[in-house]
Structure 1
Amino acid sequence: MGGEILRPDRAGPEDVVLAWEGQDVLAVRLPQLADSLDRILAALERSHGMPLAALDRKAKQSVVRNLEARGAFSVRHGVETVAGALGVSRFTVYNYLNREKAAKGE
């Protein structure tokens, strides 16, 4: 996910400090969610071996399902970011999401 390990004395208010037997031993700085989405999209491109925009419709729908399971659409501008990576409109991404929910009976 791209986290960074820090000494506990360098931890900021958003960092996670880990303790062992009552002593702070290290801190972890997690990346911003938007940065994580970019990393997830890059990893998906690597796993498919091509730009996401070059995938066929079925593969793009699979990517959207995968991203939804990872919480990608809870990130601000997540739909727009994903639509740009897939080379489709926001409307298309929402259609993929709605089809998935309809298939699950939600």
Structure 2
Amino acid sequence: MTGLGDDPFVTAVKPLVDAMGGEMLPPGQAGPDDVVLSWEGADVVAVRLPQLADSLDHILAALERKQGKPLAELDRKAKQEVVRTLEARGAFFVRHGVETVASALGVSRFTVYNYLNRENATKGD
């Protein structure tokens, strides 16, 4: 992130962009798929959003940091909670999302589907 200085708007949105796995760059370097953020009528920063597959990896890494240990080392209940969180964040809409999550959790795809089905059954879906 060069050329953005200490702009308070940039400082304010940086944690959000980092949490999404995005990249901040000067507005003049924005590509057609980047999002340019403006404040008080001036373009301040451009945000390059990650590809969906990269987003899933970023979400898994964030969940692992939050848990304080590799996701594969969690107990069954904690793994089910991780799957609920991932479902709420759209992780299973990503191509190979179930396989990626199963690998991170150290379980089979079948187990991930069971966790999803169990959650949907308790919601009444």
Pairwise same-fold verdict (TM > 0.5) = yes
- The equivalent residue for 1:104 is 123
Q: CA deviation at 1:9?
A: 2.0
- The equivalent residue for 1:61 is 80
Partners of 1:22 and 1:47 lie apart in 2 by 37
| Structure 2 unmatched ranges of 5 or more | 1-19
| Structure 1 unmatched ranges of 5 or more | none
Which digits, 9 at most, give the CA deviation of each residue in 1:64-104, with x for residues without a partner?
00111111111111111000001111111111101111100
Equivalent residue runs for 1:34-73 within 5 Å: 34-73=53-92
Partners of 2:106 and 2:92 lie apart in 1 by 17
Which digits, 9 at most, give the CA deviation of each residue in 1:49-69, with x for residues without a partner?
221111111111111001111
* 3-12 or 77-86, which deviates more: 3-12
Equivalent residue runs for 1:6-25 within 5 Å: 6-25=25-44
RMSD: 1.5
Which digits, 9 at most, give the CA deviation of each residue in 1:14-61, with x for residues without a partner?
100123454433211111121121121112222222211111111111
* 19-28 or 72-81, which deviates more: 19-28
Higher RCO, Cα 8 Å, sep 6+: 1
Q: TM-score, normalised by structure 1?
A: 0.89
AA of the residue aligned to 1:27:
A
- Alignment length (residue pairs): 106
